[in-house]
Amino acid sequence: MKLLKTTTVVLCMSVSACSYFHKESDVTAAKEPVPLAKTKVESQSNVDAQAKTEDGHWWWPFGKGDKTVTEAKVQAKVPEITVSKEWLDQHEKTIREAISGSKMQMERREDGLVLIANVDDSFNPDRAEMLLPSMLGPLGRTAKLVSKDDESAVIVLGHTDSTGTKPINDQLSLGRAKAVASIFRLSGLGGSRLVVRGLSDTQPRAANDNAEGRAQNRRVEVLIQPRTVVLASLQSQR
């Protein structure tokens, strides 16, 4: 009888131990990552990294060559618009009459009409960005002519000589351009029809090694063009 009980106890302990080891094995197996899933994640990461390296941006859905072609197509859509002789003839006459009697100069170019206001004749010597009263008449008359013509637009460009530092020249050229542009803005010109830029000393008309040349370089230019030409120019610079 004792032998039977002993045998039974041994069998029960064996069964319990087997059950315990099976459970431990299941838990350990559950904690280990699935090799196939890990391989798939690593593979996808490698693909994404390679795509980012080749294309520059992970979000670009095409290849590098496709991106270049697409950008070229977008740039090709910007039309090259020329100014007609008829437009130049019509506006040159009226604008010359508007600035008659002033010290402003006018040039006819292939891309439009340009009014040139030399700083020494147009701005207060004590306040660098203030227009002289004598400039208000010719600029005001020109501004009214342009504002009444919905198909015309204006680009105002400020220029300096090379004597000042870049920060000072940047400020001066933009400030003077804004002073001239304010006359056109008061006449109702705005939005894409009025563009203002300060170009500092980057576009001289004469040499900066003498006083006469520097005087020519200190100027504000008012470029009058058809609105379509100005819009095309702005689009091509984006």
Closest by Cα among 122, 119, 125, 110 to 161? 119
pTM above 0.75, yes or no: no
Least confident of 80-89, 101-110, 133-142, 154-163: 80-89
Per DSSP, 76 falls in state H
pLDDT at 13 over 70: no
Q: pLDDT higher for 89 or 11?
A: 89
Q: Are residues 6 and 106 in the same domain?
A: no
pLDDT at 182 over 80: yes
Number of domains in the chain: 2
Least confident of 14-23, 61-70, 180-189: 61-70
Q: Which residues of 62-74 are buried (b: 16+ CB within 10 A; e: fewer)?
A: eeeeeeeeeeeee
Q: What is the mean pLDDT of the chain?
A: 77
Q: Residue 76 contacts by C-beta under 8 Å, 6 or more apart in sequence? A: none
Task: Mark which of 23, 47, 76 sits at the end of a domain.
Answer: 76
Q: Are residues 68 and 108 in the same domain?
A: no
Task: Give the pLDDT confidence score for residue 189 in this predicted structure.
Answer: 94
> Which residues form the domain of 36?
2-76
Alpha-carbon distances of 153 from 136, 191, 217, 223, rounded to whole Å? 19, 10, 24, 8
Q: Are residues 106 and 165 in the same domain?
A: yes
pLDDT at 207 over 50: yes
Q: Are residues 200 and 128 in the same domain?
A: yes
Q: Are residues 121 and 72 in the same domain?
A: no
Q: Are residues 71 and 90 in the same domain?
A: no
Q: Are residues 143 and 160 in the same domain?
A: yes
> Domain holding 98: CATH number?
3.30.1330.60
Q: Are residues 126 and 232 in the same domain?
A: yes
Q: Are residues 175 and 90 in the same domain?
A: yes
Q: Are residues 131 and 230 in the same domain?
A: yes
Task: Give the pLDDT confidence score for residue 79 in this predicted structure.
Answer: 53
Task: Mark which of 26, 45, 76 sits at the end of a domain.
Answer: 76
Q: Are residues 201 and 135 in the same domain?
A: yes
Mean pLDDT of 179-188: 97
Q: Are residues 91 and 71 in the same domain?
A: no
pLDDT at 31 over 80: no
Task: Mark which of 23, 54, 76 sits at the end of a domain.
Answer: 76
